[in-house]
Amino acid sequence: MKTGPLSHIKVLDLSRILAAPWSGQILADLGADVIKVERPKTGDDTRSWGPPFLKDASGNDTKEAGYYLAVNRGKRSITVNLDSKDGQRIVRELALACDIVLENYKVGALARYGLDAVSLRKLNPRLIYASVTGFGQTGPRRDQSAYDFLIQAMGGLMSVTGERDDKPGGGAQKVGVPIVDLMTGMYTAVAVLAALEKRNLTGIGDSIDIAMLDVQVATLANQAMNYLVSGKTPKRSGNAHPNIQPQDVFPCKDGDFILVVGNDSQFAKLCETLGVADWALDERFATNPARVRNLPVLQALLRERFAKWTRADLIAALDKVGVPAGAINSVADVFEEPQVKAREMLRYVPHPSGVDVPQVASPMRFVENPLQTQTAPPLLGADSESILVELGYDAAAIDVLQKNGVI
């Protein structure tokens, strides 16, 4: 039995790749029954986006790429050929039984099959239908495809990510994870849950239009506002924060560490730890605006002091006085971090290949409705028969659908 705050909700996930499937995984983590519809034989594109692939009990590669395994836990998979009338009928029947539909087809693509928001919400007025695209349902680019990398560039993120042009390694950089896809999935989950709450009051669902470019523009956050209030275009500043200082990567005797001073009190504690308490009274550094304006001088002074410390000793000393600091962990280091272990962020679930597949757990924690450890990302079409039985199909009808290439 499903647990979690959404254990009473059923989701029809017509999406593939990352942004919308990420939203579906969030809903599955929250306990929803998420039915993933995939193409027969090939399935979601990300199934083949490897190596690496999950290895079976014999150490051989399966057909499950790490990319796919990161986005689809807790779901059930049914294969449906949307080009067939029978396949379209199955999707309509699923939509009648569901609360939420997620899709990320090109604008207008599903209308050809009668599976668009207007068509399905006529059948089920309570349905919440979320369409996720690169550029949205309106505007001059509405018909164009988009990927995370492109939107990071178009949406301004790469213009403020990376080292300054006048420094070694300078130039625009994309973020190391597909952050626009992930944030789009988050916004989609928030939107459908808001629509779900409204439906509880009115009995009427909604159609939701989420665009990746809109999401990236929205998440420019302080950098967007820096420009809008000053008229000055933000520039890349490497790891240095544009508004709060000192926040950067600094070298010690034996390696680099991260320093994140968030206010004047923390700066004073930093200075005291370094044996230069008077810096906190220096008019050049006493306030954050002053530190930002005099950053080159401050950084040079800090580097001179940090060079006398080992990284472990400095981090320990700063931890003791409440100044945020830490090492730059590799991905492998992250899963050895004691805090990450204590929070059980890495879990293993049984996989049909005969091994336990690692999963990065949901960060959401509920007291009254605890989230259960989810099932592994499903094999392609693993649940086709059981889902069809739930819709009322008998064995003979399912056999016909299989022979006709519908499922």
- Which residues are designated catalytic? 181
Instruction: Tell me if 42 sits within 8 A of 115, measured CB to CB.
Output: no
CA distance 260 to 152: 25
**Strand (E) or helix (H) holding 269:** helix 264-273
- Paired with 255 in beta bridges are 252
Apex 166 CA angle, 160 and 170, nearest 5: 50
| Phi (first) and psi of residue 12, to 5 degrees | -100, 110
Instruction: Tell me if 310 sits within 8 A of 253, measured CB to CB.
Output: yes
| Helices then strands, each counted (H, E), the chain | 16, 13
Q: Distances from the Cα of 398 to the Cαs of 42, 84, 102, 334, in angstroms?
A: 20, 15, 25, 46
CA distance 237 to 22: 30
CA distance 389 to 382: 13
| Phi (first) and psi of residue 173, to 5 degrees | -135, 145
Residues of the chain by 3-state class (helix, strand, coil), percent to 5: 40, 15, 45
CA distance 248 to 207: 43
| Phi (first) and psi of residue 227, to 5 degrees | -70, -45
Instruction: Tell me if 210 sits within 8 A of 130, measured CB to CB.
Output: yes
Instruction: Tell me if 310 sits within 8 A of 260, measured CB to CB.
Output: no
| Helix, strand, or coil (residue 278) | helix
